[in-house]
A = this chain, B = another copy of it.
Amino acid sequence: MSLLVVGSVAFDAIETPFGKTDKIVGGAASYIALAASYFTKNIDLVSVIGDDFPQDFLNILKNAGVSMEGLQVKKGEKSFFWSGKYHNDLNSRDTLDTQLNVLANFDPIVPESAKNAEFLMLGNLVPAVQRSVIEQMNVRPKLIVMDTMNFWMDIAMEDLKKTIAMVDVLAINDAEARQLSGEYSLVKAAQIILNMGPSVLVIKKGEHGALLFNKEEVFYAPALPLEEVFDPTGAGDTFAGGFIGYLSKTRDISFENMKRAIIFGSAMASFTVERFGTERLLGLNAKVIEERVQEFIELVQFELV
């Protein structure tokens, strides 16, 4: 398999200014795998769920070309559950409830078929769990991309840094880049973080787009100004899924190609926020994705006379 995706497959209950859901399917790996599946059909999923998880959604993933061999189903246990409420500006949210359930003792097991994956996407998880996946690989992947969050910076910074040192691309948001580096300037923050190990840093800025840094260059991908952001949940994971999906498809990990990958990731994320949960991410096709990418091109295109 060419792409291994590790992360949570879970339930969310979401409240936004536009509405409210009961338990719906969520989890970093759900968004990542779905988004990536529009670019490659060679995806392995490593995750854990309880026996309360809907078979329908697993079938959707299977039909999208995602192999489930690495998905552990814990009998008599419950899937991870998160509940949150977004503020009116949709840029901030309160966590209402977190039930770790099966995620509390998640011990990922990479199936043999996935141990030679060329691309590895580590969704947000305990840093030591992310590391254990890297250590199970037969060959070091061509590219390891890692997501994480401020929570691990608060409670497990040293452990987190060990994992960061092992990856090629770190994808975090602007507040997290500032926290991780201790620097307010994102340019300075990027250089500090790149000295921690990764050769590339992606800084996600939500409605303000994303920045791509290596030690010499910087690229700015805008976010599409949207009429309506309905539910931001999963936008960052979808972005990561589109990013690594595009790279897996093209098998080109140059900085130039990563620019394209970021545009595709941003395009995928712009779909996700239009509906609750994974709803909008289902039933896309190459044509609507290309059209969305074209909107990004037009958004930033200008010619100097």
**Interface positions of A from 67 to 117, Cβ below 8 Å from B:** 88-90
In the complex, which of the residues B187, B188, B225 contacts A187, with contact meaning CB atoms closer than 8 Å? B225
| Band of interface residues on A | 35 or more
Q: Decide if B302 touches A293 in the complex (CB within 8 Å).
A: no
Closest to A226 in B: B187
Q: Decide if B225 touches A218 in the complex (CB within 8 Å).
A: yes
Let me know if A247 is at the binding interface, CB within 8 A: no
Chain copies in the assembly? 2
In the complex, which of the residues B220, B293, B302 contacts A225, with contact meaning CB atoms closer than 8 Å? B220
Q: Decide if B218 touches A299 in the complex (CB within 8 Å).
A: yes
Q: Decide if B220 touches A299 in the complex (CB within 8 Å).
A: yes
Contact A293-B304, Cβ < 8 Å, known A220-B222, A225-B220, A227-B185: yes
Let me know if A165 is at the binding interface, CB within 8 A: no
CB 8 Å contact bits of A192-211 with B (1 = contact, 0 = none): 00000000000001001101
Q: Which of A6-14, A128-136, A255-263, A274-282 contacts B (4 or more CB under 8 A)?
A: A255-263
Contact A184-B89, Cβ < 8 Å, known A222-B222, A225-B211, A225-B220: yes
Binding site for B on A (CB under 8 A): 88-90, 184-188, 205, 208-209, 211, 218-222, 225-229, 250, 256, 259-260, 263, 293, 297, 299-300, 302-305
**Extra inter-chain contacts (5) besides given A187-B226, A260-B305, CB under 8 Å:** A185-B229, A186-B225, A260-B304, A293-B304, A300-B300
